[in-house]
Every structure is written in C-alpha cells, then in structure tokens.
Structure 1
Amino acid sequence: MTVDPEVERLLTSEPVMAHLATCSDGRPHVAPVWYDYADGVVEILTTGRKLANIRENPLVALSVQKDEGGQAEWMVSLLGTAEVVEDEEATRAAESRINPKYGAPPDAWTGNTLVRVEVGSASSRTY
C-alpha cells in the first residue's frame, strides 16, 4: 500500500508515542511504544507480552496522536502485518534511529527485538 504523503508527514513530524495493539487470547492488548516510520514500514523495538502476541498473531494496529495541553491536534491510525526481525545488526541500526529520536542514547535499552510493521491501511485526521 502507498501511504498518503500527509500521513507520512504526520508520522515523521516529531517524537510522539504510538500505541501498539496486538491480540492475546482473543482480547486486545495495547501498549505505548517508540517507533520509526519510513516508506510504509513502522519499526519498533519490543519484548515481553507485545512480542509474544506478535509471534502468535502478526496482525496489529497502531494509533499515533499529537496533543497539546490535552487537546488533540492530529491522529493517525494504521493497520498492518508485523514481522519479527531476528537480526542483531538490523536491531542495532533501528536502535540508532529510534532511541535518539526520543532523547535516549542509541544503546539505552538492550534485549529488545526489532519488529517491522508493513502498513496495510492508514487514515488520519487533523483537529
């Protein structure tokens, strides 16, 4: 899928959190994550329940929203298919993109696994 340029602009405009929705035992599991977006792919670094859920069911959703003083400015919703990337070099490269975006050193957290989400659909709204 081609992601609309306005959606891409919003996703790359500033370091806001994404909320990743996975599925566990037929129930949603939502957790905040740092992310990087480029060319229709969202990269996250994760572990624990989120990672286990993705291994069981790769269909995910991401919600990204920019707020100012509790007032929403814009939102983006993404649906996609996640792939667990078991590659240390790719994981380090993702850490060097994601962690500094949020003010952390590239090696701030170790032990995370790289997940790439291929965007299948995207929608946005500005307020």
Structure 2
Amino acid sequence: MGKLNDREITSLLSEPIISFLTTLNRDGSPHTSPVWHTTQDGKVIVATGSSTVKSNNIANDPRVSIVAAADRSPQPWVQINGKAVVSKPENIDEIVTDLAYHYLGPEEAPDYLREILGEINFVLIEIEPTRVLGFDGEE
C-alpha cells in the first residue's frame, strides 16, 4: 500500500465523503461517530450538536482521531490524530450551510437546512493534526 502525499491527502479530504470521528469517553473507551468534515487553515472542521457525546467527550479529553475513506476501489484513506477544541463561532450557521451543500448538493441541502438550523444548537469541532497518515488503497 503506497502512502499519499500532502496534495493527495488534501484532495481526498476535500471530497464529500463521510468520515469517522473517534473521541474518548470518561472511562477511556472509544466513541466513534460518522461526521461531515471540511478543512480550513490546516485543521479539520466538524459541526455537531452542543450536547452530543463527541462534543462532551472533547471537553473532557481533547485527543481525537478522524478517518476518511473514499467509497471507490482502490480505496484511498486518511487518518488524522490530533487535539480538538469545541467552540461556537458567530458564523456557525454559515459553516453548517456550507457542509450541507457540499455533502447533499443544491437539490437536498435547502430542505435539510430548514429542518435542522432552528432545531440543533450547533458547535464547531476544530482538530489540530498531530499525526497524519494517508494510503492509496492499492495492494
């Protein structure tokens, strides 16, 4: 399996693929959730509800791991370990909107956003990478 270079990692992370975020429960056991992600200024960005297990776990222990794998063959994938911070930026609705359009497209995003923006109190998870691995999925 060949390693991905920085450009290939950036390209893979820009695709609308579901990633899996692992946080640590208070007892040290892992908690993994499928999430939408984007990148900004070298960080991985995830929006989630303020009362989710993942946001509460990060408040207790900022160590996280996120894995993104393409849904094709060969299956390139990236794993990023890092430290996460939860915040509530003023533009959180804009970030959620951008994520929805990126993942759902212009056909489905408006209905999805009408449903969730008033219902969920979103926060932002920013992951500062400490280790990045990427592989091309070739045998």
Shorter-chain TM-score: what band? 0.7 to 0.9
Q: Displacement of 1:33 after TM fit?
A: 0.3
Q: 1:39 to 1:17 in 2, by over 3 A?
A: same
Partner-residue secondary structure (3-state), 1:97: helix
Matched, 1:50 2:54: yes
The equivalent residue for 1:11 is: 13
Amino acid at match of 1:92: D
C-alpha displacement at 1:72, in angstroms?
5.0
TM-score, reference length from structure 1: 0.85
Asked if 2 retains the 8 angstrom alpha-carbon contact of 1:41 and 1:118, the reply is yes
Q: Which amino acid aligns with 1:117?
A: I
Q: Quote the residue 2:40 is aligned against.
A: 38
Task: Flag as ranges the 4+ runs of structure 1 deviating above 4 A.
Answer: none
C-alpha distance in 1, partners of 2:6/2:41?
A: 10
Q: Which aligned pairs between 1:74-113 and structure 2 lie closer than 5 A?
A: 74-87=76-89, 89-103=90-104, 104-105=109-110, 107=113, 108-109=115-116, 110-113=120-123
Hey, which of these two has a bigger chunk of helix by percent? 2
Percent identity between the two aligned chains: 29
Q: Return the alpha-carbon distance in structure 2 between the equivalents of residues 58 and 94 of structure 1.
A: 21
State the one-letter code of the partner of 2:96: E
> Which residue number in structure 2 is paired with residue 62 of structure 1?
66
More strand by share: 1
Do residues 119 (structure 1) and 129 (structure 2) align?
Answer: yes
Residue deviations 1:2-24, cap 9 Å, x none? Answer: x9222111111x20001000000
Which residues of structure 2 form unaligned runs of 5+?
none
Q: CA RMSD in A?
A: 1.8
> Comparing both chains, which one has the higher relative contact order based on Cα–Cα distances under 8 Å and sequence gaps of 6 or more?
2
Aligned length: 121
Contact kept, 8 Å, 2:17 with 2:70, in 1: the verdict is yes
State whether residues 90 and 114 of structure 1, in contact with CA within 8 Å, keep that contact through their aligned partners in structure 2.
no
After alignment, is 107-116 or 43-52 more displaced?
Answer: 107-116
SS at match of 2:96: helix
Unaligned runs of 5+ in 1: none
